[in-house]
């Protein structure tokens, strides 16, 4: 009897809540005429279901109880299926929390959040920090991150047997609250066969603001990834100037050398030695041919027209670039680059970023004391010191620093920002440098005049990154205000604003043809934007933590992105798909760079290493090999260059294919 009365009261409250006034009035009339409670078709199962549903509507303890039992069941499952079943817990946890907040049970929601957040701290700490700020129902709507989560589904890849186990558990326990959350917010991608291993697929759990279908639809848009028409590289190719004069002479003499070798081998005498020499020469020729073939991939890229009016290049810049291209060393998996590494010393944890000019002659550092400092490598060399960049934070001697031999080394101090400097980038010839700061501004400096020329204001929050375009004049910025902006040096207002990320835009990179920019964000996605329209034309989904670095291949076809967990992902821009994840770093990947012919990718990390990756092999690995039991990623790591204790902040290949890198020496623990 009491049970039936509870059901009646719930039905009445439900009708009132949903606005069914006539039905509500009719129920009241029936109850007033009949002292006995209404019997719903004499169906005890229906009454039981409504009673259970009413409890799940009102009793928020159902969330805590349901999640706790689901968690215990998942952790107690067989090891073969456990890691797949555990993937369900995080989305169920955050949506249960938000459901409780939405229903007004704020205190219970906070208790629930604190009780179980530790389970997910390792993988999702940044998301949890944002959700911790949800303190009322209005916050769910006002905060873009929570609103996007509420409006979308989470994609989870799971094998058929794990899926069946989960459904069987939910049906057996009749956990209405958990079933409701899973049904509304999780989209299972079920596959046949054995469960995937923990590290097999980087996209097993995709937590994004827009659903996967929308991203797939967006990635159908056509993009033109080729190189600019009539570029310097193209002109040099047509003129037959890809090889330097010395290399051409070597090419011309190779046939004569081979003939000489053959003659010596026929004559006898030192036949074994001559055979070895001829093998070496063949290997050298094969290496050269491979490098040429890899270099030809750039020349085979389609040509596109520029969408932005390009600046006129001065004769001085043009000649400098052509000279570098003529003398460019061809790299490959068997011809690795030389590396020049600059180490910052005595920074007292004040260094936030570093940058190197294209020819390696200038090195810049951005500091927490709002200063930007530039070292001239030619002056350091004249004074006979090593390439250690000594920093002295004493303001009385801020124009000079003391080297290890006691001599004074000068650097140029640029002062103007009013908050820490987080990014710097040199122009083509190194005559200008841009810096961005927490003070929301970007400043343009002249390295010739040693003066600030322009202060660009447009962002409302700290600017984390700024990058010159490949042709100079234009630059792009990335900010905490969740936007990226495109600027030109001659205008103080931005030309375009790219809005769409759900969190900070942490890094930005130009495409080789200047028609697109890529942005990496704390929302774990990378986006590609059309500079003419300002529209997003690609969303790249797969990272599990914030993206810290980006790099574009010289032919404009591929992109690499590095994240906070040490994962590097390579992407095909035309399809928007991940070609392969490159695993090996154990900490943040701060910087990435492709070699000039695009055959190698270099990555610098907070784990104090630089790694060289074989891009050519990575992009040609067949799908069946990727899905096989062996892990092909390790085969693509060509070399690991370890520093003593120096985090790698920046690296880049010069136009002659020398690898420059810079970092700060960590304090020994």
| CATH number of the domain residue 568 falls in | 2.130.10.10
Q: What is the mean pLDDT of residues 161-190?
A: 87
Residue range 223-250, pLDDT digits in tens: 888 888 777 777 777 666 554 444 444 4
**Domain limit, last residue, from 175, 191, 207:** 191
Residue range 387-423, pLDDT digits in tens: 566 654 433 223 333 333 344 546 899 999 999 999 9
CA atoms of 333 and 195, how far apart (whole Å) = 35
Cα–Cα nearest to 524, from 508, 550, 501, 551: 501
Q: What is the mean pLDDT of the chain?
A: 78
Q: Give one DSSP letter per residue of 184-237, joined into a string.
A: HHEEEEEESSSPPPTTT-TTSEE--SS-HHHHHHHTTS----SEETT-HHHHHH
Residue 10 domain-assigned?
Answer: no
Question: Is pLDDT above 70 for 630?
Answer: no
Residue 243 domain-assigned?
Answer: no
**Domain limit, last residue, from 156, 174, 191:** 191
Which tokens hold the place of 648?
């790698």
Residue 177 domain-assigned?
Answer: yes
**Between the CA of residue 59 and those of 174, 271, 336, 618, what are the distances in Å?**
15, 91, 65, 53
Residue range 570-612, pLDDT digits in tens: 999 988 888 888 888 989 999 999 998 888 999 999 999 999 9
Phi, psi of 388 (to 5 degrees): -85, 130
Question: Is pLDDT above 90 for 174?
Answer: no
- Among 273-287, 314-328, 456-470, 604-618, which stretch is predicted with the lowest mean pLDDT? 273-287
**Domain limit, last residue, from 131, 164, 191:** 191
More confident call, 497 vs 622? 497
Residue range 177-203, pLDDT digits in tens: 888 888 888 888 888 888 876 544 444
Range of 127's domain?
A: 60-191
Residues 6+ apart with CB under 8 A from 548: 506, 507, 520, 562, 563, 564, 588, 589, 590
Residue 543 domain-assigned?
Answer: yes
Residue 183 is inside which H or E element, if any? helix 176-185
CA atoms of 427 and 473, how far apart (whole Å) = 8
Number of domains within the chain: 2
CATH code of the domain in which 94 resides: 1.25.40.500
Residue 379: pLDDT band (50, 70, 90) is: confident
Residue 417 domain-assigned?
Answer: yes
pLDDT of residue 266: 40
């Amino acid at each position: 009897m009491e049970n039936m009365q509870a059901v009646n009261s719930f039905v009445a409250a439900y009708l009132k809540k949903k606005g069914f006034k006539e039905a509500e009035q009719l129920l009241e009339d029936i109850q007033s005429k009949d002292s006995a409670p209404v019997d719903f078709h004499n169906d005890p199962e229906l009454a039981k279901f409504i009673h259970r549903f009413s409890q799940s509507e009102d009793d928020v303890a159902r969330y805590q109880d349901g999640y706790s039992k689901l968690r215990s069941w998942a952790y107690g499952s067989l090891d073969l299926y456990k890691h797949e079943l555990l993937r369900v817990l995080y989305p169920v946890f955050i949506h249960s929390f938000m459901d409780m907040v939405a229903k007004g049970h704020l205190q219970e929601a906070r208790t629930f959040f604190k009780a179980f957040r530790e389970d997910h701290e390792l993988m999702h700490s940044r998301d949890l920090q944002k959700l911790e700020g949800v303190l009322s129902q209005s916050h769910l709507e006002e905060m873009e991150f929570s609103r996007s989560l509420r409006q979308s589904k989470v994609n989870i890849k799971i094998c058929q047997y794990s899926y069946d186990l989960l459904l069987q558990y939910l049906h057996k326990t009749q956990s209405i609250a958990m079933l409701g959350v899973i049904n509304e917010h999780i989209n299972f991608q079920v596959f046949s066969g054995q469960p995937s291993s923990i590290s097999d697929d980087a996209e097993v759990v995709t937590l994004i603001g827009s659903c996967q279908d929308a991203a797939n639809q967006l990635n159908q848009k056509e993009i033109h990834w080729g190189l600019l028409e009539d570029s310097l590289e193209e002109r040099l190719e047509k003129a037959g100037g890809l090889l330097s004069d010395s290399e051409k002479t070597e090419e011309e003499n190779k046939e004569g050398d081979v003939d000489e070798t053959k003659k010596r081998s026929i004559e006898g005498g030192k036949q074994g030695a001559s055979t070895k020499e001829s093998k070496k020469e063949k290997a050298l020729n094969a290496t050269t041919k491979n490098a040429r073939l890899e270099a030809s991939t750039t020349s085979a890229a389609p040509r596109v027209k520029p969408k932005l009016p390009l600046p006129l290049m001065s004769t001085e810049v043009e000649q400098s670039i052509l000279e570098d291209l003529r003398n460019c060393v061809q790299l490959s998996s068997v011809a690795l680059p030389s590396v020049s590494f600059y180490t910052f010393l005595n920074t007292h944890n004040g260094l936030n970023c570093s940058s190197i000019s294209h020819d390696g002659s200038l090195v810049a550092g951005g500091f927490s004391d709002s200063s930007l400092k530039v070292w001239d490598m030619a002056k350091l060399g004249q004074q006979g010191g090593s390439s250690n960049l000594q920093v002295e934070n004493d303001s009385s001697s801020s124009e000079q620093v003391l080297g290890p031999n006691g001599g004074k080394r000068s650097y140029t101090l640029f002062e103007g920002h009013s908050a820490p400097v987080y990014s710097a980038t040199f122009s083509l010839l190194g005559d200008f440098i841009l810096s961005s700061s927490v003070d929301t501004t970007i400043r343009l400096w002249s390295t010739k005049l040693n003066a600030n020329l322009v202060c660009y204001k447009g962002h409302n929050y700290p600017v984390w990154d700024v990058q010159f375009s490949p042709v100079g004049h234009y630059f792009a910025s990335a900010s905490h205000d969740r936007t990226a902006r495109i600027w030109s040096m001659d205008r103080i207002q931005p030309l375009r604003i790219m809005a769409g990320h759900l969190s900070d835009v942490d890094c930005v990179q130009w495409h080789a043809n200047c028609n697109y920019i890529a942005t990496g964000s704390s929302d774990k996605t990378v986006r590609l934007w059309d500079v003419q329209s300002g529209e997003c034309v690609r969303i790249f989904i797969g990272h599990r933590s914030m993206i810290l670095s980006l790099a574009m291949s010289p032919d404009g076809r591929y992109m690499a992105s590095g994240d906070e967990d040490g994962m590097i992902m390579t992407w095909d821009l035309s399809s928007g798909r991940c070609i392969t994840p490159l695993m090996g770093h154990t900490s943040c990947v701060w910087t990435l760079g492709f070699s000039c012919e695009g055959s190698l990718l270099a990555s610098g990390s907070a784990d104090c290493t630089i790694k060289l990756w074989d891009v050519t092999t990575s992009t040609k690995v067949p799908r069946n090999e990727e899905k096989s039991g062996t892990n092909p990623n390790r085969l693509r790591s060509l070399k690991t260059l370890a520093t003593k204790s120096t985090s790698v902040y920046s690296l880049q290949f010069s136009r002659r294919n020398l690898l420059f890198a810079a970092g700060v020496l960590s304090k020994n623990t």
